[in-house]
A and B are shown apart, each in its own frame.
Chain A
Amino acid sequence: MLKNIILPFILIASMHLSVYGQITEKPGFGKFALVGGTVHTITNGTIEDGTVLIHGNVIEYAGQATSFDPDYTVIDVSGRHVYPGFIDAGTRLGLIEISAIPVTVDDAELGNFNPHMKAFTAINPAAVAIPVTRVSGVTTVLSYPTSGIIPGKSTLINLYGYTPDSMAVVQDAAMHLNWPADGRRGWWDSRSDEDIRREYQRNLKQLNEYLEEAKTYHQMMEVYEADPSGKMRPTRNADMEAMRAVYRGDLPVIISVDREKDILNALEWIKSNTHIRAVLSSVAEGWRVAGQIAEAGVPVIVGPVLRTPARGYDNYQRPYQNAGLLASAGVLVAIQTSQTENVRNLPYHAGYAAAYGLDREEALKAITINPARILGVDHAIGSIEAGKTANLFVSDGDPLETMTRIDHVFIRGFNIPMVSRHTLLYQEYIERDVN
């Protein structure tokens, strides 16, 4: 009885708070059975008329079983499609609230070399863009810091949770490295050609020196830690210490790089450091050196796909074709938006890649299992398989198609209410009082 009175009250209260907080309604949690849909497992083909059982945080079963315990809440998804939650392997979601207001921007620390910075620390679980994003089927994002040459470590988060801790798939997912760029950064870059070249050389030199220093530090520490007896303990250095995970190969290093020759430079560095797990990201000109990237066995996180061609004489289709050309050269490809508030458009970046040459199944992988593999979490997310985290969604059609709508989203097993600021404003204003 009490419950019956309080529940609507809570609902109303949470509706009011929704403008400020992430939670729009209480999500359901427990045991769910999604029945009758076409299940796109990504890793194990498509199951027609399938059943997916969710228990707690995990997928318990995916197959064609028609009978299961009666305590599952059954959701009829016949005629619908079930996909693993999409993963955007490059965003700033949770780090930036409003990009024009500096006090709400936490993706860019001062300084050129900040490997000890952790994006995880600055994730705001109540960012308004989080519900906006997850109701589109993007359930997991890599949020990365951006400033300087080594901006710090990104975090991989599921888009539901009250604390960064509960959201994190991996707190520190990768080290980020912005490869110094030779060339104009964009229309607004008014530096002279000479200044550009000088700055590039300076940055490259700085980077090389820093990496050498960090490597030396790491080797020194390895020796000391293996047998400290009789040795003076070297002074610990926070940022160098952070780099050790890269040299140890514990932490992938995601190198953001666009230009052909910069990519080749980065590949050289990767080759000379055998233990590191390197990933290239952005790679606007990746298609120009797809063979070399494939040969080096380095995976890429391409994107955004929706961008203008890099060079004045580039064919207009190149940004769309980039992912496809890399994949057909044998490169493991994931796709990112590099976005904050419009990470929800991730499937369309994949869609354009698919329209312009990337195999459609590969396009789906590029936003599910491939980023999971690249980040070393494919045991947990990226496909619909028993035992994996229950990140998935139900759509009324091909999720890469713009007009397709998402009906249900599960994140970590939570049945996410399909509500965000954007839907609430719609509901409020579609039938507005005129007076």
Chain B
Amino acid sequence: MKIIMQFCVAALLLLCTYHDTRAQSTPAQALTNITIHHADGTVVTGATLVWRNGTIEAAGLNVTIPFDARVRDGGDSLHVYPGFIDGYGTWGSVDAPTNQPRPDRPGEPGYQRAGIQPDRATSQNFKTDKREFAEIQQLGFTVAALGIKGFFLSGQVDVYHLTGAETPDNLMADRIAQKVQFVSSPGAYPNTLMAMMTSLRQLFHNASALQKHQKLYAETPDRYSPAPRDAVLEALYPVSDNRIPFFFSADNREDIQRVLKLKDEIGFNLVLVSGKEAYTMADELKRKNVPVLVSIELPEKPSHMKKETDKKEKEDNGNNQESGETDEISAEEANFRERQESAYYDLVNNARRLMEAGVKTGFSSSGMKASDFGKHVQTLLENGYEEAALVRLMTINTAAILGIERNTGSLQRGKLADFSVRTAPLSDKNSKVLYGISAGKFTEFSQEGRRR
């Protein structure tokens, strides 16, 4: 993997230099008079950031700007954040098939129809429309672990540098995990949760036997029958050998317990993805050293909570016209609302509780709409999340879970130049990303795009 990584970095560097063929050596780039928001929470104002060949050369105060640097003056108003990392997303993926015909034998549908496709690689499954990459770059993301939309075992997970339409060419690390979720391919075995549970066990029994068989046959072909090849089972070997983890999506307490039960039985390495109610299992996740790539997607506020908020806002604005009106509700409805409200806040507080409990927690978009990111971040900030904690969640913590923390995730000398430049701190509702720099590649986002 290390070799692959180095190769990728080299490839990236080549790409970056390619654009400026007139230069003998790659000139440096610098941003001055900026506020740097580090992954560890420190904030440095009046700072300078220098990078060259896609790598950070310096970040902080008292930085000597190289003679060949192209300097951009931040004018004391720009804010630089380490590039956010999406720990698991399906940006740019083809859609999962819909309305598939029923198999002739629904009980033996074949791997593909069953949605058991660990042999799929993201590189083979990008859709032609590449706009989604730019959309999340514009949110401040520079790196994403990408999977494929699908069903039960949807494919391998690969890490990419986000570089607009060229993202598919910027593979950073491949096959870092296999993706699993309790989502069945309709009309085919395994169709129910219970069948998916058992199916996974059976797949590992089959993989283990096949792997042994292949090894024996390779060693002494005269003694054994020829071992067949099976791309699906073979794709599970890295998981059964504990070389890569399962990225397993589950949200509620019972589903997380199911995943942990499978982990205990089968013995795979696990990264929990999404985990919207993972706080309920925080202690066990910590004990079992299971990281969580948490989703911050929140459901719509219940309507009674929205009304409360609106009323409050009106009152705050000095508009007391409606303050006399009180909802007359029964004790029963009051209880219903109270419980629903606390259920809502449980979801809001999930990521924080995980971090506080000491669970390794990173970020996953996990199917969230790009356009909702800002809204959810604001909700978390309004509910007591520190900006620094959110930044840490989406940068160095996620990098550590993906195993790329030596290369990216913070603004340090020697790391990849992955960062975003914003008009205001992330916690500011009106904060926009002006530039995204991904392994040194500079993208400027148009005014029009920002206004959208």
Contacts and interface: CB of A to CB of B under 8 A. Distances in A.
Majority SS at the chain B contact face: helix
Interface residues of A, number: 1
Interface string B308-340: 000000000000000000000000100110000
3 contacts: A313-B332, A313-B335, A313-B336
A313 B340 CA distance: 12
A400 B332 CA distance: 33
Interface string A287-313: 000000000000000000000000001
A313 B333 CA distance: 10
Nearest to A313: B336
Contacts of B335: 313
Contacts of A313: 332, 335-336
Interface of A: 313
Nearest to B330: A288
A276 B336 CA distance: 38
Interface in B353-367: none
B2 to A, nearest CB: 48
Nearest to B333: A313
Interface string B213-242: 000000000000000000000000000000
Report, as a range, how many residues of chain B touch the other chain: under 10
A61 to B, nearest CB: 53
Contacts of B336: 313
Closest 3 CB pairs of A and B: A313-B336, A313-B332, A313-B335
A313 B335 CA distance: 10
A281 to B, nearest CB: 25
Nearest to B336: A313
Contacts of B332: 313
A235 B321 CA distance: 56
A313 B337 CA distance: 12
A395 B336 CA distance: 47
A325 to B, nearest CB: 14
A106 B332 CA distance: 42
A313 B332 CA distance: 9
A313 B336 CA distance: 8
A196 to B, nearest CB: 16
Nearest to A314: B332
B304 to A, nearest CB: 15
Nearest to A312: B336
Interface in B86-131: none
Nearest to B332: A313
A157 to B, nearest CB: 41
B338 to A, nearest CB: 12
Nearest to B335: A313
A182 to B, nearest CB: 15
B186 to A, nearest CB: 12
Interface string B196-220: 0000000000000000000000000
A192 to B, nearest CB: 14
A342 B335 CA distance: 38
A370 to B, nearest CB: 29
A313 B330 CA distance: 14
A397 to B, nearest CB: 39
Nearest to B339: A313
A259 to B, nearest CB: 15
A367 B332 CA distance: 32
A100 to B, nearest CB: 23
A357 to B, nearest CB: 19
A193 to B, nearest CB: 11
B339 to A, nearest CB: 8
A40 to B, nearest CB: 39
A309 to B, nearest CB: 13
A313 B331 CA distance: 13
A313 B343 CA distance: 15
B337 to A, nearest CB: 11
Nearest to A315: B332
B302 to A, nearest CB: 13
A365 to B, nearest CB: 30
A97 B335 CA distance: 46
A318 to B, nearest CB: 11
B301 to A, nearest CB: 15
B58 to A, nearest CB: 54
A307 B362 CA distance: 47
A126 to B, nearest CB: 41
B253 to A, nearest CB: 18
A190 to B, nearest CB: 12
Interface string B126-169: 00000000000000000000000000000000000000000000
A313 B334 CA distance: 12
Interface string B333-351: 0011000000000000000
A44 B21 CA distance: 110
A221 to B, nearest CB: 45
A81 B239 CA distance: 75
A157 B63 CA distance: 98
A435 B336 CA distance: 63
B303 to A, nearest CB: 12
A396 B20 CA distance: 104
B441 to A, nearest CB: 42
B142 to A, nearest CB: 36
A54 B336 CA distance: 58
A240 B53 CA distance: 83
B392 to A, nearest CB: 37
A165 to B, nearest CB: 50
B384 to A, nearest CB: 29
